[in-house]
């Protein structure tokens, strides 16, 4: 997908929102996305991963990630897809949550409980 296609798709998935907020979303996506072909979660359906609704619909312009893929291409993906591609990144997050007081507190506040659970 192109940057503009991702912006349009993101706006459609995030609606409804205050019309004044649209400028913020567009500006952030313009800043974060490159002017090259970008893979999206749809390109990784073969991994049988359920996408994260939070990442896609609430604050996609902040929650989605631009990652580098092997071979140098880019992908705009949610957490579960990133973790399917790079499982070690999920392990790094688990380690952070397990090994720091801040991580344990955040897990508790956001209701994630055990960082080894399958919840996001």
Q: How confident is the model at residue 12 (pLDDT cuts 50, 70, 90)?
A: very high
CA 105: distance to chain centroid? 22
Domain identity same for 75 and 56? yes
In this structure, the strands spanning 38-40 and 65-68 are unpaired
16 pLDDT exceeds 90? no
Residues 65 and 9 in one domain: yes
Express as a percent the part of the chain with pLDDT over 90.
59
* Same-domain pairing of 67 and 91: no
Q: CB within 8 A of 25, min separation 6: which ones?
A: 7, 10, 11, 14, 17, 60, 61
Residues 65 and 109 in one domain: no
Residues 7 and 60 grouped into a single domain: yes
**In terms of domains, do 70 and 91 share one?**
no
Instruction: Name the pLDDT band for 120 (thresholds 50, 70, 90).
Output: very low
User: What mean pLDDT comes out for the span 20-33?
Assistant: 94
Structure tokens at 55: 């990442």
- Is the domain of 43 the same as that of 71? yes
Pair 51, 102 in one domain: no
Domain total of the chain: 2
What range defines the domain where residue 12 resides?
3-79
The predicted-structure confidence for 30-77, as pLDDT tens digits, reads as follows 999 999 999 999 999 999 999 988 889 888 999 999 999 999 999 999
pLDDT at 84: 94
| Residue 54 and residue 94 share a domain | no
Q: Tell me, yes or no, whether 90 and 73 share the same domain.
A: no
């Amino acid at each position: 997908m192109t940057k503009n296609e991702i912006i349009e798709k993101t706006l459609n998935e995030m609606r409804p929102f205050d019309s004044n907020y649209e400028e913020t979303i567009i500006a952030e996506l313009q800043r974060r996305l490159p002017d090259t072909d970008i893979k999206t979660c749809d390109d990784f359906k073969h991994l049988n991963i359920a996408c994260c609704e939070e990442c896609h619909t609430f604050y996609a312009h902040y929650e989605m990630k631009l990652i580098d893929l092997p071979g140098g291409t880019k992908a705009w993906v949610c957490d579960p897809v990133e973790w399917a591609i790079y499982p070690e990144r999920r392990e790094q997050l688990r380690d952070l949550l397990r090994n720091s007081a801040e991580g344990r507190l955040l897990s508790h506040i956001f209701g994630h409980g055990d960082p080894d659970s399958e919840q996001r």
